[in-house]
A and B are shown apart, each in its own frame.
Chain A
Amino acid sequence: MAARVLQQCVRSLARPSLRLCSGNPAVRAAAAPAVAIHRPLSFAADSRRTRWLGQSRVSVVGVLCRQYGDLPPLTLETIKDRVMYVLKLYDKINPEKLQTSSHFMKDLGLDSLDQVEIIMAMEDEFGFEIPDAEAEKLMTPEEIVQYIADKKDVYE
């Protein structure tokens, strides 16, 4: 969040190619620890996603404008879409019957082994591990979305 604001400041500073040198070191120093604290995972996980910062122009004057790599921000909508997409790809689930409130065991007829597989697929999709104790409680897509939103600090 703060990293994005700072980086927009840096980009807006980068456009007029004159008064750059004084602004940049302070901005860079302030933004670097923020990036390090907020997103330690993003550098390791999912490097196949496009870095949405990599596309911006670097100014002609050769100022070292640091491009912070980060994934696009998660929203409840995107989390829900990705969860439902992964569930639709799972061969034991009937896509027509699938809704966010459908219970894996009661409505979709899956068993606990299938539920373990589903949670593992979610771990793969979102790139972080879900511990056993909490994984066994996630029984509907809605709960999974809520859990991921809690873990990733997504508010809306």
Chain B
Amino acid sequence: MAISRIPPAALSLKQFLQRQRVLGIYRNMLRTIRQVPDEADRKYLTDWARAEFKRNKDATNQDAIRMMITQANNHLEELQKSLALARS
């Protein structure tokens, strides 16, 4: 009988990729928030982003996660557009 060497808690490939995507979005969000000019706004936004990501940390349903990723991307694009407008 073949004994699987992969530990039971390992993620499948799709889950692993999704996890990488989420971390990438979190990183992009933090980088974009860094460009916000006001210090208090920056703190508020980082706290908001942190709370949102942590709140949904334990979600396991792939579709739900995909929806949340799309939402996060929308927020990120909105933030980037506002920053571009504010800068011009």
A interface with B by C-beta (< 8 Å): 111-113, 116-117, 120, 124, 132, 135-136
Contacts and interface: CB of A to CB of B under 8 A. Distances in A.
Given A132-B24, A136-B23, A120 B30 contact: yes
A129 B31 CA distance: 10
A117 B34 CA distance: 12
Binding site of B, secondary structure by majority: helix, strand, loop or mixed?
Answer: helix
B27 A135 contact: yes
Contacts of A120: 27, 30-31
Contacts of A136: 20, 23
A3 B23 CA distance: 40
Nearest to B54: A113
Interface of B: 19-20, 23-24, 26-27, 30-31, 34, 50, 53-54, 57
A62 B57 CA distance: 65
A45 to B, nearest CB: 13
Nearest to A124: B34
Contacts of B31: 120
Binding site of A, secondary structure by majority: helix, strand, loop or mixed?
Answer: helix
B27 A116 contact: yes
Contacts of A117: 30, 50
Contact of A111 (B27, B30, B57): B57
Contacts of A116: 23, 26-27, 30
11 contacts: A111-B57, A113-B53, A113-B54, A113-B57, A116-B23, A116-B27, A116-B30, A117-B50, A135-B27, A136-B20, A136-B23
A113 B19 CA distance: 10
